[in-house]
Amino acid sequence: MKIGQLANVSGCSIQAIRYYEKEGLLKSPNRSEGNFRLYDDKALKELEFVKHCRSLDIPLSDIKTLLDLKDRPEESCSSINNLIVNQLDLVNKRIKELKTLKSELQLMKKACSSDNTVEQCGIMKSLDI
């Protein structure tokens, strides 16, 4: 299949597919006589793997590590476990930051009613504007 077909089937943009190839996350595809990229089912599976990892917010460098390890099935999976533990730590940190942000926004919301003028707005005053 050509890149447009791969994009349609996978739900990835053509630009993303080209970028993933450039970054080494997808193997360079075969080319047609007209120099069109030609993809097979294996390429689709690799792209779906990358897309799934991205949906988990795994950085491209870590995805590349996972793909490299996939080609060495005899190695220990400890580095994969460590990668996921690190990603989980980052997610927990972001959750904590988002909870703090939520609390601050809730306080700001309570600081003003919609009946006030901008000059009287408690939100603007809390921002010290």
Contact 26/46 with Cβ under 8 angstroms? yes
Whether 109 shows a pLDDT value over 90: the answer reads no
For residue 37, report the phi and psi dihedrals to the nearest 5 degrees. Answer: -70, 135
Nearest to 23 by CA among 51, 57, 64: 64
Whether 10 shows a pLDDT value over 90: the answer reads yes
User: Quick one: tokens of 87?
Assistant: 């990603």
Domain that holds residue 49: 3-126
CATH number for 41:
1.10.1660.10
Query: How many domains, in total, are found in the chain?
Result: 1
Q: What confidence tier does 96 reach under pLDDT thresholds 50, 70, 90?
A: very high
Average pLDDT score, the chain: 92
Q: What confidence tier does 120 reach under pLDDT thresholds 50, 70, 90?
A: confident
| Distance from C-alpha of 25 to C-alpha of 44, rounded to nearest angstrom | 12
| pLDDT tens column, 20-68 | 999 999 998 989 888 899 999 999 999 999 999 999 999 999 999 999 9
